[in-house]
A and B are shown apart, each in its own frame.
Chain A
Amino acid sequence: DGGITQSPKYLFRKEGQNVTLSCEQNLNHDAMYWYRQDPGQGLRLIYYSQIVNDFQKGDIAEGYSVSREKKESFPLTVTSAQKNPTAFYLCASIEGSFGANVLTFGAGSRLTVL
């Protein structure tokens, strides 16, 4: 079945460490997105990519980095510069960038900083 796979589901990090969250999709979707979800704040856009080798900053990109070397993969690195990284991270993808195509979400990765 086609879908989005995020890993790991749970991740613990010590302060000062970089961590990378994986997002893989086999839907042949062009655009991919990373969101951060905090209680009471909904989803906030970190980065998005509409084509391979290109990506744009979202609303809260500071302290994060991404790459889009392959169409099916959009990993997110949470760097030590991110001051409050504990959150639930959601990856999503969409077919093309036009019209009202449906956004498909992964099951999420929960990052906790110890």
Chain B
Amino acid sequence: GDSVTQMEGPVTLSEEAFLTINCTYTATGYPSLFWYVQYPGEGLQLLLKATKADDKGSNKGFEATYRKETTSFHLEKGSVQVSDSAVYFCALKGAGGTSYGKLTFGQGTILTVHP
């Protein structure tokens, strides 16, 4: 079945540092890919998405590019802020077979940004 693998955390950075959180996936066909963010005590919010190969999703300074050849969707931000501290989830929505319509999440990566 479909699966999503994220880099293990926690990730701890200083303010204004560069962020990369790796995400790779296994899926049938051409899934849609997402990054969600969860702030303490809250549900998840969509951060960005990409629906086809080479699409770049972006929002709030975060970016991720759908790489079909490497089955990856790495999240990047050039300069993180303390307010970016949260848990980040990579996810995919199945596009074929028994996975159609099914949303699968990675295990989440905790990001802590220090002043």
- Residues of A that sit less than 8 Å from B by CB: 31, 33, 35, 40-45, 48, 50, 56, 58, 90, 92, 94, 97, 99-100, 102-103, 105-108
Q: Would you call the interface of chain A mostly helix, strand, loop, or mixed?
A: strand
Beta-carbon contact of A42 and B44 below 8 Å: no
How many residue pairs at the A-B interface have CB separations less than 8 Å?
59
Known: A42-B105, A107-B42. 19 other contacts (CB 8 A): A31-B101, A33-B103, A35-B105, A40-B108, A42-B6, A42-B106, A43-B89, A43-B108, A44-B105, A48-B101, A48-B102, A48-B103, A100-B32, A100-B49, A100-B51, A103-B36, A105-B45, A106-B43, A108-B43
Bound CA–CA A105/B45 (angstroms): 7
Chain B: CB-nearest residue to A96? B101
- Residues of B that sit less than 8 Å from A by CB: 6, 32, 34, 36, 42-46, 49-51, 89, 91, 93, 100-108
